Amino acid sequence: MRNVIQIILLVVLATIALAEWPDAGGVPVCTATGDQTMPKIVSDGHGGAYIVWSDSRGDDEDIYAQYVDAYGNILWETNGAVVCTSEGRQYDYDMINNTYGGPVIVWASGIGNQIRGQFISPTGLYNWDPDGYLIAAHSRTVLEPIIKDTDIINDIVVTFKFSGWSHDDPYTKKINIHGYYEWLIENDDLSNRTSKMSSTSLEGHNTLIVGDWNNNIKALKKINEDGIYLWTSDINVADPSVNRNPKIINNGLSSVLITWEDNRRGNFDIYANTIDNLGTLGIPNGWPICVAADSQLTPLIVSDGSGGAIIAWNDRRSGSSMNFEIYEERMDYWGNRLWNTTDTTGIPIINTTGNQKLYDMIPTDDGGAILVWISNELLAYHVFAQRIDGDGNALWDASGVQVTTGTFEELPVICSPIVLTV
């Protein structure tokens, strides 16, 4: 089955009515030949969105992008604007909406083991080299570019890793909006593998990276805007076990919150911790967020706007190896659970029959969140959404709002107020 990207307005925070969109069932973003998959989306700050995806309409895997305004109008060329169609595979991309307006996209290129980037204006003008600005190149494979804006106008920070047979080396590079780099540093030679990295800004202009190196969650030394280490050593967020898949956010109070999958009990649970701007952990080894039967996996985290966070995850406590449920919890900065204060099992978002798989979550301005997931029942795959307020109450239908009406939708991502699905 061929994948086609479509975009759907989810009226939650917007001032624009659903009826004003050209098609209440969704606006096609790309219907070109081949598969269009793995979309990412960022808000344009005005009710619209920039979208980037992997596209196989050509001989190799390429990257395309599109701009959709708040009324559902496609603003760039039909079926997307080419971000890069250079020889070889283009993959592992990330995107932000820059302070000046317009997306900055970074990706890994299979030719020459490179990280490249492109800055596109809202009018679709390419500001850097047509094949992308060369950010880094190496004899080893380059993976997982992560891009973050800073509170310093013009400045962008890109984190990535060079992967070898025995170990991965994370690097961070600072570039400005004009496509000139200011510094490149190797964060550490950790001498072992990492499967996932996550990064955030700290105090607006400093960079903090976490990753699961050798099944150990580490926070690497904080880097300031001049590329100088501000801490003397890396930080073990939890004792070595089988800890993986960390996610990190800035809580707006000169600190970060981290959540991860933790296997200290023999099956995966959800834990969390904080790190302040001096590198001090909230608690050794982290706080348990959910310690339930079987495994809790793939946590997502967003700020609650009050120094704490909302954490959601896919949950197998029902005992079925085939079906997930979705649970969540809110924690404050001191690790206190605010929704389920009785035990460490979280609260259910959706635990109906079938397989429910959480894909994305964004914060709302009332201390709550909106979640999107795929529901698989009777061989049909549909996108659903739910809004939770700051007290953990579901504000929409108890089973969620069905966003799509086809028979096979997947990989939903969301930015206020839009849901994107393949």
Every domain of the chain and the residues it spans: 47-186
> Which pairs count as long-range contacts for 325-328, CB under 8 Å and 24+ apart, including other chains?
325/350, 325/351, 325/356, 326/350, 326/351, 326/356, 326/357, 326/358, 326/371, 326/373, 327/290, 327/292, 327/296, 327/351, 328/369, 328/371, 328/388, 328/392
Q: Alpha-carbon distance 353 to 252, whole Å?
A: 38
Q: What is the pLDDT of residue 372?
A: 93
Q: What is the pLDDT of residue 14?
A: 36
Task: Give just the sign of the alpha carbon dihedral 255, 301, 197, 87.
Answer: negative
Coil, helix or strand for 45?
coil
Q: What is the pLDDT of residue 11?
A: 44
Q: What is the pLDDT of residue 137?
A: 83
Q: What is the pLDDT of residue 291?
A: 96
Q: What is the pLDDT of residue 21?
A: 64
The residues pairing with 158 across neighbouring beta strands, listed in sequence order, are 147, 173
Q: Give the phi and the psi of residue 130 in degrees, each rounded to 5.
A: -55, -30
- The hierarchical CATH code for the domain 47-186 is 2.115.10.20
Q: What is the pLDDT of residue 9?
A: 54
- 169 contact partners, CB below 8 Å, separation of at least 6: 161, 162, 186, 187, 188, 189, 190
Q: What is the pLDDT along the chain (422 residues), one digit of tens a residue?
A: 556 666 655 544 333 334 456 565 678 899 899 888 889 999 998 889 999 999 988 888 899 999 999 888 999 999 999 998 777 788 889 999 987 789 999 998 876 688 899 999 999 999 998 888 888 887 767 667 878 776 555 677 887 776 654 566 777 888 888 777 777 777 655 544 455 677 776 656 677 777 776 667 878 778 888 888 888 888 888 877 678 888 999 888 888 999 999 998 899 999 999 999 889 999 999 999 999 999 999 999 999 999 999 999 999 998 776 789 999 999 999 999 999 999 999 999 987 777 899 999 999 999 999 999 999 876 778 889 999 999 999 999 998 988 877 777 778 889 877 767 66
Coil, helix or strand for 20?
helix
CA angle 420, 106, 261 (to 5 degrees): 65
Tokens representing residue 95 in the block: 């995107």
**Distances from the Cα of 199 to the Cαs of 144, 183, 225, in angstroms?**
11, 17, 15
| Closest-CA residue to 48 (of 76, 9, 81, 78) | 9
